Chain A
Amino acid sequence: MSVEAGHAAHPPVAHQSSRVDARTLGMFLFIASEVMLFGSFFTAYFFVRVVNHQPWPPSPFHLPVFVAFVNTCILVTSSFTMHWALQSIKRGNRAGMQAGLTLTFLMGVTFLLTQLLEYARIGFTPHDQAFGTIFFCLTGLHGAHVFVGLTILAAMTTRAFRGHFSPEAHNGVEIGGIYWHFVDVMWIVVFTTVYIL
């Protein structure tokens, strides 16, 4: 068996032993591991806030709940535009997909910029008690995921404008979309636990 042959030929099509698409399943498993990564940080949150009985936020700090709420609304809306993009291409509506993806991308960028502004003006740092650490690490971990989601979205949007995807082949939109919905749902959990409760 030569290595050259391995590069020249494509693998034969494997027998499909499940109704689930391999790439979709891969994304779901990846998300499962991401949920656990967030879980480890939520565990740290639990220890500081519940086990150590820390006031949240400890005075003199304040959390900008209203700004964060508006930001949440933006991110939730972007999930709907994402869904709209997918449904559009399923029906062959290319313009709808392009508009949906572009809007989603812009709203994601808005979310991330707002978050950065919030960091700059919030009045405490990651060194300010365990509270500051947990706040910045939970929201920052999520922000990193938004960034990754935006990278995927940028690739998807570019492809959409280059004429990729069709009603038959829209895996790229669907799987990237699943990740974006995950980022969105995760934010709702972070927002609820860090800002509201």
Chain B
Amino acid sequence: MIGIQYVVTTIFFFLAAGLLAMLMRAELARPGMQFVGNQVFNELFSVHAALMIFLFIIPAFAGLGNFVIPLMIGAPDMAFPRLNALSFWLLPMAGLMMLSSFFVPGFGCGWTGYAPLCSTHQELGAVFFNMGVQWAGASSIMTALNFLVTIITMRAPGMTFWRMPLLVWANFTTSLLVVIATPFIAGSQFMTMFDHVMHTNFFNYEAHGYVLGYQHIFWFYSHPAVYIMMLPGFGIASEVISTFARKPIFGYRLMALSLMAILVLGFSVWAHHMFVSGMAPWLRVPMMVTSVVIAVPTGIKVFSWLATLWEGKLSFRTPMLFALGFVSMFVIGGLSGIYLAAVPIDIDVSDTYFVVAHIHYVLFGGSLFTIFAGIYYWFPKMTGRMYNEQLGKLHFWLTFIGFNATFFPMHYLGIQGMPRRVSDYAPRFADLNFFISIASFFLGASTLVFLYNMIVSWARGEPAPANPWRAMTIEWQVSSPPPVFNFDEVPQVVGGPYEYGVPGARHAVFGDRVAEEEEVRSR
């Protein structure tokens, strides 16, 4: 149930952050200043990013995982239910903290909160951001710890690691990343806050502090955070694609191992965010090489999804549309990522709209599409009702078109040299910006279809059968919604999770069935 609370709460913050983005686009529709001043514009993009990252994408995945993981591994609940509730309730605190930064002299130094701009030269709002990150970070560390303990100690009989669905693998890897990396952003936010509030000298050059230290510590978390925001999406895509292609996942073990490879490599690439920061030049090429190497495990995953689709019996339900949208959009975001990893190109397009386009292809086209896929896919299981398929498809196509119309032109603007994070721009960028703003309002409006569909279907949708997608993983073998403690009897896992099209194959069996199966096998 906490999983559902999570998802609903994060969608609230998603809408709030989306509205901030539309205010920005309204300002950017024409050159010159229209609605908001420079400082307010800075606050808009800072809080937009902070909410989307810390209050939407990361906890939305945590929420879906919270609901699905215990079901998938055959556990009655998470390992520490009270800790789970605590980590949920820290989230609204974090979100309110960040939103209320608008009511004090605001937080306008960007979600990265670079020192010294955000430490000694900022207003009170920056401290609100520091504290908000602490709450959200503590929440995500506790959830990750909970996931890890649940996955390690509470799997059903027969559920070996190599029989776990890929979503469980993905959250296992993500949780390891969170436990190891998130304390670094906690540290960095403590340091900037101390510099601000107590006038310490962590990043004060005059007192022999090391200014660039902030960026190193921050990105040592925030690059792995990119994978924290993406790996659970990989897991959701694997579930959805395999189910709706009616085929076993291609290269199951390699899919799991490539997650692990991303985890390890993710810690060795942070300085590619700092090519123009004035850091030691010898760090550039090693960071470029490791960054490009990450494309290998990621590529393994993309090709495995394609191979899973190959000659599959595809059914284009809404979750599948979002999963396919994710694969195609993520490839574009990944490719522009390889460009950005290359030092010369990065120096050229640093701090331009090319970077904005890249991050939105990865986080919107990547993470958000998989979150939508996951919400539609498990909506029947969570609520016990079916969503409206026509509206779901309409939502997908509106989002897909609006998304591309909004963000694709930004690549071009960036290469032409339009800088990001400014409220005004040269007149020669005017036409394309006007188009982007219109497209972004279209994209914003598409969310209304989603909201209408979710609210009306939850209240009055058709009752959902236990297994509307004919999927094999355990969550679909219990009623929709599941019993209070997930299972009336403990399932017995007897095979892999994606044996679609294999005659007689089963992933898990219950109670009496266990005896029957044994009998069949002994004959």
A residues apposed to B, CB below 8 Å: 1-3, 5-6, 9, 11-12, 14-18, 20-22, 25-26, 29-30, 32-34, 36-37, 39-41, 43-44, 47-48, 51-52, 54, 58, 126-127, 129-134, 136-137
Bound-state Cα–Cα, A182 to B199, Å: 30
Instruction: Tell which of B153, B156, B180, B212 touches A22, judged by Cβ atoms closer than 8 Å.
Output: B153
Tell whether A22 pairs with B202 under 8 Å between CB atoms, given A36-B180, A37-B187. no
Mostly, the A contact residues are helix
* Chain A contacts for B21, CB-based, 8 A: none
When distances are taken between beta carbons in the complex, the residues of chain A under 8 Å from B153 are: 14, 16-18, 20-22, 25
The answer to whether B179 and A17 touch across the interface, beta carbons within 8 angstroms, is no
Question: How many angstroms between the C-alpha atoms of A140 and B200 in the bound complex?
Answer: 13
When distances are taken between beta carbons in the complex, the residues of chain A under 8 Å from B210 are 44, 47-48, 51-52, 130
Cβ of B200 and Cβ of A36 under 8 Å apart? no
CB-CB nearest 7 A-B residue pairs: A40-B187, A47-B210, A37-B183, A17-B155, A36-B183, A133-B200, A47-B213
Given the complex, which residues of A lie within 8 Å of B501, measured CB to CB? none
Separation of A5 and B149 alpha carbons in the complex (Å): 26
What is the bound-complex CA distance between A51 and B75, given in angstroms? 49
Would you give the shortest CB distance from B141 to chain A, in whole angstroms? 5
Tell me the residues in window 312-344 of chain B with beta carbons closer than 8 Å to chain A beta carbons. Answer: none
Q: List 8 additional A-B contacts (Cβ < 8 Å) besides A12-B76, A15-B157, A20-B152.
A: A1-B481, A2-B484, A14-B76, A18-B153, A26-B149, A37-B184, A43-B187, A134-B202
Which one, B79, B159, B183, contacts A33 given CB within 8 A? B183
Sample 6 A-B pairs with CB under 8 A, ordered by A number. Answer: A11-B485, A15-B490, A20-B152, A36-B181, A40-B187, A133-B200
Interfacial chain B residues near A17, Cβ < 8 Å: 152-157, 159
> Is B184 touching A12 in the complex (CB atoms < 8 A)?
no
- B residues near A58, Cβ cutoff 8 Å: 208
Question: What is the distance, in angstroms, from A47's C-beta to the closest C-beta of chain B?
Answer: 4
Q: Does B399 contact A (CB under 8 A)?
A: no
Most chain B CB within a 10 A radius of its CB, from A6, A30, A39, A130: A130
| A19 to B204 Cα, complex, angstroms | 49
B80 at the interface (CB under 8 A from A): yes
The residue from B1, B148, B202, B217 contacting A6, defined by CB atoms under 8 A apart:
B1
**In the complex, what distance in Å separates the CA atom of A11 from the CA atom of B149?**
17
Within 8 A of A (CB), among B179-222: 179-184, 186-188, 190-191, 194, 198-202, 204, 207-210, 212-213, 216-217, 220
